[in-house]
Amino acid sequence: MAAKKAPPARLRRPSGASARRPPGPDAPVDRPRAADAGSPSPARAPLRILVLSGPNLQLLGTREPEIYGVETLAAVHARLRARGRELGVQVTARQSNHEGTLCDWIGAARGKFDGLLLNGAAYTHTSLAIFDALKAVALPCVEVHLSNPEAREAYRHTSKLAAACVAKVSGFGADSYLLALDGLVRWLARRPR
């Protein structure tokens, strides 16, 4: 009978001045669960991150590969889930071409997820509905883009979503999603509880 492997150690927030430093890029990050009163060390559950991709991103891998690359959205989602496991966070990834569906998913995220990554695609530049949904749920969101919108056509230079987001990562191809995940996890770890 093979010996069972011990689960990975969870990050504990030290006291004192060093408590203000964010964890390293590969450190697992947890959020507290409600604990019994008087419990000296509350149990922690992994962070839950919802990744949403907007219209036409299901075509990644074949759609304008000189701009968006050759990696499929399914491969990007698999890489995100793998990186989430490395960070000790749970990643759920979805895609829709429909603005209302994206709004529904954002609206249902409160209480189920700790943060969002959102590639609104074309809706980035047009959707007050998605902006309002982000503001309403008040979850930290990172805006994600494969290309650099500011280096493209003028109509892509304005984001209707940016004011509802804590950060933006763009221009790194599919790696933009991974960089955004790393950044959001670090941001959540630094946030006062």
The answer, yes or no, to whether residue 32 has pLDDT greater than 70, is no
**With left for phi above 0 and alpha for psi between -120 and 50, is residue 94 left, alpha or beta?**
beta
Residue carrying structure tokens 């969002």: 116
The answer, yes or no, to whether residue 152 has pLDDT greater than 70, is no
Residues 187 and 181 sit within 8 Å (Cβ to Cβ): no
The answer, yes or no, to whether residue 193 has pLDDT greater than 90, is no
The set of catalytic residues is 68, 145
The confidence score (pLDDT) of residue 63 equals 75
The answer, yes or no, to whether residue 94 has pLDDT greater than 90, is yes
Domains of the chain: 45-72+90-190 (3.40.50.9100)
What's the whole-model pTM score?
A: 0.74
The confidence score (pLDDT) of residue 37 equals 39
Comparison of pLDDT for 63 and 38, the residue scoring more? 63
The answer, yes or no, to whether residue 117 has pLDDT greater than 90, is yes
